[in-house]
Amino acid sequence: MKLTGFESSKINSEMINHPSHYNMPNRKECIDEMIDIYGLKDVAKWCEITAYKYEYRAGHKGSVAEDMSKAEWYMDKARELKSKRRWKIFSKIADRYLPMFIKGIFAWLMLFCMLHAILFSDPCSMIVSIVFLVLVCITESILKENEV
C-alpha cells in the first residue's frame, strides 16, 4: 500500500530511514553491521519478513502511516540488497572466468591467422597471428600473476 504525499509528509523521514536508536556512536548503522555479519542474502530476507510484520500490525502499534512507511522502507531495502547480491555474484563469475575466456579468444584468433597465413602465403596474417600470440602470452602472465 503506497502512502499519499499528505500521509507520508506527516512522518519524520529520519525516524523511518535512519532512526537514532539504530545509529550508535563510532559504529556502522545497525543494518550495515548485519550485512557484514550475516551477508546480503540473509539480511534481504530479514527485510522482507520485517516489512510483512509492519504491514501485519499496521495501526495496532503506532500509526498506520508510520507502519506502512516502515514496511515500504524494508521492502525497498530488500530489493536493493538483492540487486547488490546479483551484481556481486556476477562480478565473482566475471573475475574468475573472463580472463580465461579472453585468452581463449586470442588463442583461437592466433591459430586462425596462422592457418590463413600458411594456406594463402599471406604475410599480413602471419604478423597478425604473432600479435595474437603476444596477447596470449601477456594474458597468461597476468593470469599466473593474479593466482594466489
- Asked if residue 123 and residue 83 are part of one domain, the reply reads no
- Asked if residue 100 and residue 58 are part of one domain, the reply reads no
pLDDT tens digits, 14-45: 666 666 666 667 888 889 999 999 999 999 99
Domain that holds residue 81: 5-90
pTM listed for this prediction: 0.53
- Asked if residue 84 and residue 33 are part of one domain, the reply reads yes
d(CA 142, CA 131): 17
- Asked if residue 68 and residue 25 are part of one domain, the reply reads yes
Q: How many domains does the chain have?
A: 2
Q: Answer yes or no: are the C-beta atoms of 78 and 108 closer than 8 Å.
A: no
Residue 105's pLDDT is what?
81
Domain boundary residue among 68, 90, 112? 90
pLDDT > 90? residue 8: no
**Which amino acid, 96?**
R
Residue 148's pLDDT is what?
41
- Asked if residue 54 and residue 32 are part of one domain, the reply reads yes
d(CA 19, CA 119): 73
- Asked if residue 86 and residue 21 are part of one domain, the reply reads yes
Length of the chain as a residue count: 148
pLDDT tens digits, 83-124: 888 888 878 787 777 777 877 787 787 778 777 777 887 788
**Which amino acid, 22?**
Y
- Asked if residue 44 and residue 110 are part of one domain, the reply reads no
- Asked if residue 97 and residue 79 are part of one domain, the reply reads no
